Amino acid sequence: MTRISRTPQWLYGWLLLLPSAVLLIAFTHYPIVRTLYNSFFTTPRGRIPARFIGLENYQALLHDEIFLRVLVNNFLFALGTIPASVGLALLMAVWVNGTLPGRALARTSFFTPTVLPMVAVANIWLFFYTPQVGILEKMLAPFGIHGVNWLGDPSTVLWCLAVMAVWKEAGFFMIFYLAALQGVPPDLTEAARIEGAGRWYCFRRITWPLLMPTTIFVLLNATINCFKLVDHLFIMTKGGPDNASSLLLYYIYETAFAYWDTAYASTLTVVLLGLLALTALVQFLYLERRAHYR
């Protein structure tokens, strides 16, 4: 007892933090700092060591057409996936939250795509989209739509991948909404109903504001995911045709591990980190203030 009281409290605090701090520093903070550091150097090759070049890698970014292309692609991909998957998630959650026959089955089936690994999903959808023999071709044939080369046409490929991502993601976000909906006190809605409020009004003025913290969480996750999820590109398009479906993280992978240009890959990673940090900041500082927490 006496020995414990002699040890300062703060030491205990630090000791308790130590395991996670070590992991965080070793696998998150140090790599970030190192990435930033590397982005100011050239890539070492064989016997030629890395050389300091200041901001040259960043200047190269501005003239890199593929980089600009993947940036635009990523923006479009975000636009195509985030509102759709969050909206769909909310819709499904509200639906399976009510009383309907076979509710458990509906919940399970909505959640199933989330459980599948992305690589498996990509392999399945690759065949969906295959011209001539794919299921999409067969479904659309009665409507006179045929021979569309969904993944082989630069104007459709990105949207095809977005649809797949929405399908994959919506079920996951639905779970969060479902949990939040269960937490909405029924007396609020009941009181409003007595006052003569309609269903839509109730949703708009009671449920939606109470779901705001969940929406922020889900939006943040959806944004991060659309930068983070690139597994399907390896299977389905390899970023093609002509980079029409390539995303930032996939380009980073190519640069680092196919071209072995680690310095430029570091530079691209810094951009990605910056974008993600910015998203997090906007959502936490701006949206958070408008959210209603109990």
Q: Does 254 bind another protein (CB under 8 A)?
A: yes
User: What SS3 state is found at 294?
Assistant: coil
Cβ closer to another protein: 235 or 291?
A: 235
Q: How far apart are CA 70 and CA 81, in angstroms?
A: 16
- Which residues within the stretch 60-79 sit at the binding site for another protein (CB under 8 A)? 66
Cβ closer to another protein: 84 or 230?
A: 230
Q: Does 258 bind another protein (CB under 8 A)?
A: yes
Comparing C-alpha atoms, which of 138, 137, 127, 201 is closest to residue 164? Answer: 127
Instruction: Give 92-111 as a DSSP string.
Output: HHHHHHS--TTHHHHHHHHH
- Which residues within the stretch 135-154 sit at the binding site for another protein (CB under 8 A)? 141, 144, 146-147, 149, 151-154
Interface characters, 198-237, with another protein (x: CB under 8 A): -------------------------------------x-x
Minimum CB distance to another protein, residue 15 (Å): 31
Cβ closer to another protein: 127 or 284?
A: 127
Spell out the alpha helix ranges (H) of the chain.
Answer: 2-6, 9-24, 30-38, 56-63, 65-97, 103-115, 118-128, 135-140, 157-182, 186-194, 199-202, 208-228, 231-236, 248-253, 262-282, 288-290
Note the residues at the interface with another protein (CB under 8 A): 45-47, 66, 126-127, 130-133, 141, 144, 146-147, 149, 151-154, 235, 237-238, 240-244, 254, 257-261
